[in-house]
Structures are given as C-alpha cells and as structure tokens.
Structure 1
Amino acid sequence: MPTVSVNTHFPGYEIIGELGRSNARVLKARHLETGDLVAIKHFSLNTDADTLRRFRLESQLMTDINHPNVVRVREVQLDMPMPFIVMEWIEGGNLRTLLGEQGYLDVSNTIRLGLQVAEAFKVIHPQGIVHRDIKPENILFRPLPSGEIHFLLTDFGVARLHEQSQTMTGQSLMTYEYASPEQFDNPRGVDKATDYYSLGVVLYECLSGKVPFSMTDSAGIASFMGHVLRTSPPALQIPSEQYLPPSLETILEWTLAKNPAERLNDVNELILLLRQANVEQLQTSRSADRRVPVSSRTVAAPVPTPRPLEAVASVPDEEPATGTNKWLIGLSVAIVAMLLVLAVLYKTHHKATSTGTSVVPDTTTVANDSTETETMVEDTTESSSDYPVEATTDSTKTESPSETVAEPPAAIPDSSRTVVDSTKSF
C-alpha cells in the first residue's frame, strides 16, 4: 500500500504518533477544534458493502452511548479509502500490556474487571450490539488515584471487518484463541452468548496467565478447532498464595460451556456471581487480618486486666448472704406452715370429739341445753389462755344433763368417770 500523509486522510485532527498496528492501525491524535486527545483506528482490510453497512449502524449506536465502562466513539468515517473511527483517549493502555508486565492479575482485580465488563454488556446487548471480539487488546484501563484499575471495553463491532479476512497472521491468531465454538461454524450468526464465552477466556487468562486453548505455530487451525469444540478447558492453576472464590470457579465453568444454550448469558446472574465472589474474597482476607490485631492488643494492654478481677471478686461476698437470707426465709415459712397445720389438726380433732359425744343423747335435749353450752364456751375462753387442755373437760361436763334422760351404753359411764376425775384434778 503506498505511503500517504495521514493528515490528508484525517482532516481536523493533528496526528501525534502511532500506537500500534495489527488488522487496524491505531494513531494518537489531537482534535484541532477542542484540543482533546483521541485515538484514531483505521482499517486496511477490504470489506463488502453489507459488512460496512452493519458496522456503520453499530458504530452510530456507539456514539450515543455514554457509559463509564465503554470507550466513547466520537466519530465514524466509513466513506474513505481507509474507513476509520475516532474514540476517546484512554491513557492507561490495554489489558494485554498489563498482563505482559505482571503475568497475571490478582483475584480482586480480576473480579473488578469482570464486573465492569458486565456493566458494559448491560448497555450494549439490549441494543442488539454483539462485540464478537472480546480479548485483552480490546479492554482498556486507566489507573485511578485510589490505586484501583478502571476497565473499559472498546472496538465494538470491529470484528465484522475482520471476518472478511481469509488469512491468519499477527494479532488475528489471538482473536481465534478467544473465539467461541460457534464462531468457527457460523461467525455471522452468533448472538450475545459468544461475548460471555470470550469474557470467560479473558478471566481464565487473568487468573492463570494463559488461555485455556493455545494455538501454536505447529498446530493447524483444524486441530485447534477440534480442541475448542470437544475438549474441556484444563484445570485452572493460580499462584498458591491466592484464594480462588468458589463463585468465580462457577463463572468460569458456566461461561466456557461449549453449547451456547447451556452457557451463562444473563448479565444479572453474572453480576450476582461476581459480587458473591468478591464477598468470599473479602471474608477470607479479613479473617486472616483479624488474627494479628487481637494478639497485639492483648500484649500491649496488660494493665487493665486486674480491674475486672476486683469487680468479679466482690460478687461472691454478696451471693452467700443472699443465699443465707433465702434459707432463713424458707425455714421460717416452713415453721409457720407447720404451726398452721397443727392448729388445723387440733381444731379438727376438737370438733370430732364434740360431735362424737353429742350423738348419743336426744337432739331435743341438746337444743334445750344450748344456753348452758354457750355459757360453758365463754368459761372455756377465759381459761383457755392458761390451760388449753381443760377446755375439753368443761365441754364434757356440759353433756352431763343428757345422762339423766336415757341410760347410756357401758362405755359412757367410763367417760363420765373420766370427767369426774378431771374435775378432781382441777
């Protein structure tokens, strides 16, 4: 291709330098009217009219999207010898550069990447936009003042331009390693499920430092496709110092499913699992951090320890007194209860004795002598305070007139003599 002045092809922009080149050439430029830094990506591939039409439609939709996890498309120019798009400038770089420097991402940053890409899915998929080419080169980042990494998704719909190429050179090999199984059979008929598969490959690589299926120079496309279509991904291996949340393992298993119908392709479910993985990661980190402060506080503050012991020592002095008081109260109650029982038994016995002696005489005679009985009761009241036993003697004496009415049985004279004898003792 003949060399031409880039200023001729990109009017209104000042070209600062070239950032990279693969299937597309990426330039750093400045918008002359606003002074904003931008990234211009132009393509060297020949495409058919239908592909350009679809790319124009999706790119136009992208210009209307303003989301923190989506690189904003500022301008689309397809009626040029080399079609190009203008995007906002992201100063950090792309995920491929980050993985090249570190080898892998820690679990926390991997979860953050998944959450932010899922937020981008939530915006583009409802509008019918399928990315088709999610890979580290198309995930940009910028460092934040807090030290965290902010991720953004870029190059929406650009994969349509790549589908026309029949060669596999340079960066296009990496695209095949992130392609879903259905992209090998019908690349133009894929839906949003293919983006979830590609994201699963990216997460797998971030954790382990390598993709599930690698296409080497010695392996042909047929052999590689066979592995992708029929072989399960190798077991994930991450550095031993890191903890892999179970929910993150579930995400990798569900997003890398071969069948699109069985694959995780719901953004809300993906976000829920990622947040759960984040909670599991935080719980593990905090439980490990809590062990150190507890021991340090115990060693650094031994002085306050005797104070609670004094307070505790004073408690037993009060408890025995409380127990003794309760015992004395209980004993007093028991004694009073016994006295009441004895009094009740005495009265019951007294009534029973009176009733037994008055049954034998005639009831009419007893009624006539009720006055004398009442008098005798008054007399017993006066003497009961000193001699309670003599009340029985007086009550028996009141029954003596009944003996003149009828002859009592042989046992009654004995009781009369007993009464006489008690009188003598009086």
Structure 2
Amino acid sequence: MPTVSFNTNFPGYDVLGEIGRSNARVLKARHLATGDLVAIKHFALNTDADTLRRFQRESEIMTRMAHPNIVRVREVRLEADLPYIVLDYIEGGNVRQLITEQGCLSVELTIRLGLQVINAFRLIHAQGIVHRDVKPENILYHRLASGELHFLLTDFGVARLHEQPVTMTGQSLMTYEYAAPEQFDNPRNVTEAVDYYGLGVVFYECLTGKVPFAMRGETGIVTFMNAVLTTPPPTPVIPSNQPIPPSLANLVKQLLVKVPAERLHNPDGVRLALKQAEVEQLHYENGPATTSVPPAPVNRTESYTPPASTGTSPATATLSRTAGHEHPVRPADQLATRRRRSLLPIAFLVGALLLASLGAYWFFNRPTSTPATTSTPTQPAQTQEDAGSDDLPLTDTSDEDGPAATTDSTAATGQLPPSVKQVHTEAARRLYEEQVAQATQQLTVEAFGGKTGLLGGVRGLSIQLRNLSSITFTQVAVKVKYIKESGDLYKSTVMYFNQLGPNATIVRVAPDSPRGTRFRAEVLRADAANPDSIATTPLSR
C-alpha cells in the first residue's frame, strides 16, 4: 500500500514502514508534532457494540497510564474508518523473538521478566483492566545501557476486540494456547486470574521452549479444549537438563491451576516466589558452601529433577531433603558426602586427644595460688536490655577483664567476631529503616499550573515531587485526584517517579481530565534504594 494512503488514514503521523502482522497490522511511524517514533496498530473490529463501549471506557484509562513496565498508549481511534491505536515505539523486540532465537530463556532472565510483568499487573489490575492476552508477543523488551533487558507489557485490553466463539478454528491459535480454562467457558466475564494463567504459560515456554498444551494442525479445537480443561500440565523440563529452582517450579504449577479461585493471582505472592527462586538459583550455581538454603516456598511442592542425558540410573537422580525442600544431588556431591562421613570418626578421635592434652598441660601448669579478688565479667546484652535501649553496644566500655579482651583481639586482627558483626549489621539495618521512614515523611508533592475549562476539565497540570532527605528512592508512587465542583472525586490516577536522589526535584505533567475543577496530589508509596553494604553503614544518628 502506498505511503500516502497510510498517511491519509493516520493524520498527524508519517508512516515509515510495516513492523509486523498478527491480529493487527503494526506500522512504524513518526509523530509529526513531536518527532517521536510510534507504533500504529490498525485492525478490523470483530465484536459487538457492548464490547466496543467497554473497550472505549478502558481506553481512557490506558492513555493515562505511566509505568516503566507498560508500553504507553498515546491515542485510541476506534471511530476512524480504519480503527487504530498509537503506542510508544520500543526499540528491541518481543519475547517471542527471544525464544525463537535462543530456544529458551535462562532461569535468571525468566525471573527478571516475571518480576517486571508483575509490576505491570499490579497497576492495570488496580485500574480494573484485565489484559486477557498475556503471551510472548505482547511482552516487549529493549536493552539498557548496562546490557540488561527491560521488559514492557503491551496490548492490554485489545484481546477483547477479537473475542470469537470457541467453535471457530484457524484464528488466533497462539492466543488459545495462552488462554485460561475459564476463557473457553465464558470469555466475556473473566477476572485478573486469566492474566496470571497466561503468565504461567509464558514462564513454562521461557524455561522449556514450548507451551504445556500445543494447538497443532492435526489437533481439533475440541481436543485441545479438553486437554486445557481436564489434563494436568506436563512437568517442565529445561532442555539442558538444568534443575528448575523449586520455588519457580512451584510457582508455575500454582499459576496453571485450572480453577480460577484456587489459582495464585496475587502480585506479592508471585514476587515472593520469584525472589526465593533467585536465591535458590544462586545456591545451585555457587554450591551449598556459599549460599544458605532459602525459607520454604509459598506452597511446598515436589521439585522436579530432570534425568541426565547420559542415561544415569534412578539412584543418581536422588533428592536431598533439607528444611522442607528437595534439592537435586549430583553424583559428585554424593561421593563428597560419603567421604566426609568416613572422616568423621577420625576427626572426633583427633579432637578428643587434643582436648586431653590441653587438659593435662593446664593441670600441671596451673597457678598455685588464687587472687584475693576476682572480677566478674560484665554482661553488655543484659545491661542494655535493662536500660531499655534498642541499640546493642559493639564493645564493652568497662575497665574490667572479660568482653573487653574481645575488643583488643579485634583491634589486633582487624576483623570483627561473627557475633559482633551480626549485632553491627542488625543495628545498622534498623537505623537505615528508621532513616527511610523519616525520609518518606520529608517527601513533598505539589500540583500546580493546571488550567480549568469553562465547563470543567483540567489540562496542563504539573506534579512536582521533592526529596528533602539524603535517601535515594528508586520509585515513588503519587496519586493525583481530580475533584468536581460539588467536592466529589471525579477520578484519580497514579504516577510513578523513578530514581529520586537526595535533595532532588522531579516535575512531570499529569494526564488531562475531561471533568473536574480542582486537583490534589499525595504520595502513596516510596521504595528506597538499599545501601551498598548494610554491614558498613555508620552507626550514627
């Protein structure tokens, strides 16, 4: 199609070329007024009037969303001759391309993707929007300056425009593979639980390179639906036979539960499981000597240990049970364990001999007289507790012998004993938490510059966020309220301010509102950056 025809259909944009096609045709264009690169998705609507009205209502919310893990929607034009949506252009690609190029994604990258998609879920679900079509094609990425991938969710709500009776075949087959069981029964009345099911399928495919239930040419829609509705998903197996962290395997299992009410659909629960999986992956990579076993996962599950490709016997694919966990034990680890056990009796015997020798030496060389007075060692912990203070002393300030000797040995070696170091770390952590709490109270937000129309409506509103403390905040959520003349709340929106440094100020333009005559802004949540080393945080107030 000639470029001039494109530009006629999309006034205000200079179409540069086609990016791809799926349920919609995607074009790369430049916004003439700002020079920004955008992506234009245009499609033939295939839905009823009621669905169209609901999507139009949600489109107003989508254009106001501002979040680092959501592709911003700039414009929605469903009434045009060629209906289209304009989004920010993301230089990079989508997760489908990553899986195609690499076969599957690493455990680390899968966890990173999950943490960022969950951030997007938290916002859109709070606004009452259900994505309905979470799949690799709808998760975009771009590469940061550090080389890490940054993921963004796109096309939320668009799936509703393509709803079809489940008896139809040949359309959106990839979407069917990521659809939750309840979407086959009643696709119009679903909850955010369907998005968590789709995320579970994405996790499964990222790890294994394939979906749990595939829609192939020889598979009819009825057979496929029966499998999704009744058959448990196969246990995921990484092609390299690397074990999947137990918390991650358990999370995938919880996300693919067929009954929506029993499915995990809480962002905090998913985030906790992913963070635990991070620790377990470090434990697997670095060995038990360097990383402690994490606490129990959200729900305990039998961890899967994939069989070795060289045909090892079942005896070598054993599970080590520690504190409610099963961890894969490799043959080399089993041999090392047997060697350590065989050396234990010898070690006990040598230790007993050394203790006996030391006892004999002390007996024959002990002093013949006892000092007239004996000083009683002080007990710093008990004294501090009686004083009612939260901070434990790191050294004993008394002049008597006892714990003060520990301080002398510390000065001589230049290292703190483990117990003292732990007290130091805990005290520093408490102090930092107090400082963060105080710094949060010092955040100030101001709404200014908004212009109110004759018939209501607010435009050009600016939000200024100031940090008067010495703490760096990685993200601050600010709620902006638009209030009607009667004093009732018309609507509210949440804006996110990222990387707010000490004594810094950030000003951003708030979304316009078609109604309201007054406005107000307040800080909802502030996430502070962790200190580089909590153990070295100075204990000063």
Which TM-score bucket, shorter chain as reference? Answer: 0.5 to 0.7
Structure 2: 5+ residue runs without aligned partners? 292-357, 371-541
Contact 2:129–2:157 under 8 Å retained in 1? yes
- Aligned match of 1:326: 366
Deviation beyond 4 Å, 4+ runs, structure 1: 1-4, 164-167, 288-291, 318-325, 327-330
Contact 1:71–1:88 under 8 Å retained in 2? yes
How far did 1:32 drift? 0.5
- Aligned match of 1:9: 9
How far did 1:59 drift? 1.6
- Aligned match of 1:230: 230
Contact 1:107–1:242 under 8 Å retained in 2? no
How far did 1:147 drift? 2.1
How far did 1:287 drift? 2.9
Cα 1:4/1:328, change in 2 over 3 Å: closer
TM-score, normalised to structure 2, is 0.53
Alignment of 1:101 onto 2:101: yes
Moved more, 318-327 or 137-146: 318-327
Contact 2:251–2:270 under 8 Å retained in 1? yes
How far did 1:256 drift? 0.4
Alignment of 1:154 onto 2:146: no
Bigger RCO (CA 8 Å, 6+ sep): 1
- The structure having more radius of gyration, on CA atoms, is 1
How far did 1:279 drift? 1.6
- Aligned match of 1:85: 85
Structure with a larger share of its residues in strand = 2
The one-letter amino acid of 1:275's match is K
Cα 1:329/1:231, change in 2 over 3 Å: same
Distance 2:8 2:150 in 1: 35
The one-letter amino acid of 2:366's match is K
Distance 2:143 2:220 in 1: 39
The one-letter amino acid of 1:210's match is K
The one-letter amino acid of 1:326's match is R
- Number of matched residues? 303
- Aligned match of 1:24: 24
Aligned pairs for 1:19-418 (under 5 A) are 19-164=19-164, 167-169=168-170, 172-240=172-240, 242-287=242-287, 326=366, 328-329=368-369
How far did 1:239 drift? 3.0
Cα 1:4/1:160, change in 2 over 3 Å: farther
- Per-residue Cα deviation, 1:97-145 (whole angstroms, up to 9, x for no partner): 1111001000000011111111111000011100001111111011122
How far did 1:83 drift? 1.1
Distance 1:167 1:29 in 2: 34
Contact 2:201–2:212 under 8 Å retained in 1? yes
Moved more, 59-68 or 3-12: 3-12
- Per-residue Cα deviation, 1:344-371 (whole angstroms, up to 9, x for no partner): xxxxxxxxxxxxxxxxxxxxxxxxxxxx
Contact 2:196–2:264 under 8 Å retained in 1? yes
What's the Cα RMSD here?
2.5
Distance 2:364 2:289 in 1: 50
Distance 1:25 1:245 in 2: 39
Q: What secondary structure does 2:366 align onto?
A: helix
Cα 1:22/1:134, change in 2 over 3 Å: same
The one-letter amino acid of 1:59's match is S
How far did 1:65 drift? 0.9
Q: What secondary structure does 1:14 align onto?
A: strand
The one-letter amino acid of 1:55's match is F
How far did 1:282 drift? 2.1
Cα 1:260/1:319, change in 2 over 3 Å: closer
- Per-residue Cα deviation, 1:30-69 (whole angstroms, up to 9, x for no partner): 0011110000001123332222211111121011111011
Cα 1:321/1:279, change in 2 over 3 Å: closer
